[in-house]
A and B are shown apart, each in its own frame.
Chain A
């Protein structure tokens, strides 16, 4: 599948933003008063990433001016469900954030609802891909699980970083840091399982696609068109296996190993925002590689006709 940069950026940015929002929702249960700049920056970043991601995803639409129509078919379409969930999450989340930031009212109920809505939105994003039966690699229940776990891990290290920037701790911050490292580890281990499970024989073959398999081995002799077309541009993208292997390693190194090492460096007091900032950047870079591969490695059934 053709890796469209707007969609890659959207899923990474809004995934991390919604993860951060989900974490803040839970935070209302435990954290007491936090400094105002921390609240403003954290909520600001969470909303900026989510809204920025959503806006970027509308760039690849043919008719962005009709985008509101995408809210109407939630009964059958995961893309529509994602749109509805995202808008509701932003509204409820904004109310929750405003009450907490400006009126010092950390509503546990609004917080939990925000967390659930944010995570459901991420799940819906994953389901958009998982519902596509024509792409074997995506059509698995583990696909939305990966989206969810990456969003949680991304949100946690963002939170960790902002926490270090705005609060000066004099003792090591073990608790939060360990949770973030575990979240990273779990997400990437599941992703590695997802990769391993994807190396299977394709569901559809040129033989089943033409129905001529009972006669012999089927091979394309002549393409239906001499030039390129929409189908080849959209689905004809394939990445060589050996390159994919290398990129997987790069994704794991940037997305998991380096951030965990950097968090370990940051833990001894004073809780060091510099290392955590690097951890956030490294994780985001790893996520971009992971998301690019998510498309580049996926093979669509229509390619059996080419």
Chain B
């Protein structure tokens, strides 16, 4: 059913901290590892050891440079996956009913047995969160690890999305963004969490936390090499100066 639910009971999603992400790509790998054996078809790689390797991933980390007017540039690592949008355009365009948004928790999923691989949903998503699998020819996307978060066969601390469990910098948080008192909602309120591309009208559930302001901003880079030069004092200092004056 590709009509969107009016409301969802919960809004499960991620909060990603751009201040603490170190760009290690561990979440990318753990996502691929879990999801290639989890929900739906495996995530194929083509020509993995050849000249033009390519593969399906549900989460990718970009690295951006942000250049303020007259301060040095800063680097921001930027993980990106499906934002489980409330007004998900990828769902409504799907002709088969394969794409849907769950009314119980807001997760956007693809029923792979119904997908004809037309690719229209990937066109509709402005974030590039959907990738067609080159081998299975069905649409793949982040499932918010729907097969982990409710899975009673794994230890309780593992019942979060694989990327969240893996992140060594604790830059990824999982929870109910529909509940204003949840940890993730408080985090978003405290740190000024924001939406990606709000102008596209997709109302993403996932939020991003901005980098904290730099504690001190240096206008001029310090010449570190000069600090290492020996300072002559006393007689040697006088000699140094005298010789300098002689030219």
A107 at the interface (CB under 8 A from B): no
Which size class do A's interface residues fall under? 35 or more
Q: Which residue of the partner chain, among B64, B98, B127, contacts A220 with CB atoms under 8 Å?
A: B64
Q: Which residue of the partner chain, among B54, B65, B118, B196, contacts A79 with CB atoms under 8 Å?
A: B118
- Which of B125-141 touch A at CB < 8 Å? 125-128, 131-132, 134, 136-138
A170 at the interface (CB under 8 A from B): no
Q: In the assembly, what is the distance between CA of A133 and CA of B195, in Å?
A: 17
CB pair B116–A62 under 8 Å, yes or no, is: yes
Contacts A77-B94, A134-B125, A210-B76; A203 near B117 (Cβ below 8 A): no
A33 at the interface (CB under 8 A from B): no
CB pair B69–A63 under 8 Å, yes or no, is: no
User: Distance in Å from the Cβ of A237 to the closest Cβ of chain B?
Assistant: 13
A32 at the interface (CB under 8 A from B): no
CB pair B201–A133 under 8 Å, yes or no, is: yes
CB neighbours (8 Å) of B91 from chain A are: 76
A61 at the interface (CB under 8 A from B): yes
B245 at the interface (CB under 8 A from A): no
- Which of A118-144 touch B at CB < 8 Å? 128, 131-135
Q: Which residue of the partner chain, among B65, B93, B94, contacts A218 with CB atoms under 8 Å?
A: B65
A240 at the interface (CB under 8 A from B): no
> How many residue-residue contacts, CB under 8 A, span A and B?
197
B198 at the interface (CB under 8 A from A): yes
A302 at the interface (CB under 8 A from B): yes
CB pair A63–B115 under 8 Å, yes or no, is: yes
CB pair B134–A230 under 8 Å, yes or no, is: yes
CB pair A63–B138 under 8 Å, yes or no, is: yes
Contacts A212-B76, A221-B65, A305-B128; A133 near B200 (Cβ below 8 A): yes
User: Distance in Å from the Cβ of B83 to the closest Cβ of chain A?
Assistant: 12
Contacts A69-B97, A228-B52; A218 near B66 (Cβ below 8 A): yes
CB pair A133–B118 under 8 Å, yes or no, is: no
CB neighbours (8 Å) of A35 from chain B are: none
A-contact bits for B151-195, CB 8 A (1 contact / 0 none): 000000000000000000000000000000000000000000011
A75 at the interface (CB under 8 A from B): yes
- Which of B23-72 touch A at CB < 8 Å? 28, 52-57, 60-69, 71
CB pair A62–B137 under 8 Å, yes or no, is: yes
Q: In the assembly, what is the distance between CA of A73 and CA of B118, in Å?
A: 14
A67 at the interface (CB under 8 A from B): yes
B123 at the interface (CB under 8 A from A): yes
Q: In the assembly, what is the distance between CA of A227 and CA of B56, in Å?
A: 12
CB neighbours (8 Å) of A131 from chain B are: 89, 93, 124
CB neighbours (8 Å) of A75 from chain B are: 2-3
Q: In the assembly, what is the distance between CA of A214 and CA of B145, in Å?
A: 33
Q: In the assembly, what is the distance between CA of A211 and CA of B64, in Å?
A: 11
Residue of A nearest to B18 (CB): A212
CB pair A77–B128 under 8 Å, yes or no, is: no
CB pair A203–B200 under 8 Å, yes or no, is: yes
User: Distance in Å from the Cβ of B115 to the closest Cβ of chain A?
Assistant: 7
CB neighbours (8 Å) of A262 from chain B are: none
A238 at the interface (CB under 8 A from B): no
CB pair A216–B54 under 8 Å, yes or no, is: no
CB neighbours (8 Å) of A209 from chain B are: 127, 196-197
CB neighbours (8 Å) of A235 from chain B are: 128
What are the nearest 3 A-B pairs in CB distance? A62-B117, A62-B137, A302-B128
Chain B positions near chain A (C-beta within 8 angstroms): 1-4, 18, 28, 52-57, 60-69, 71, 73-76, 78, 80, 89, 91-98, 114-120, 122-128, 131-132, 134, 136-138, 194-201, 208, 210-211
| 25 A-B pairs in the complex with CB atoms less than 8 angstroms apart | A66-B114, A69-B95, A70-B116, A72-B96, A73-B2, A73-B94, A75-B3, A78-B93, A79-B118, A128-B93, A128-B120, A131-B124, A132-B123, A208-B196, A211-B195, A219-B66, A222-B62, A223-B62, A224-B80, A226-B53, A229-B131, A230-B131, A230-B132, A231-B131, A302-B128
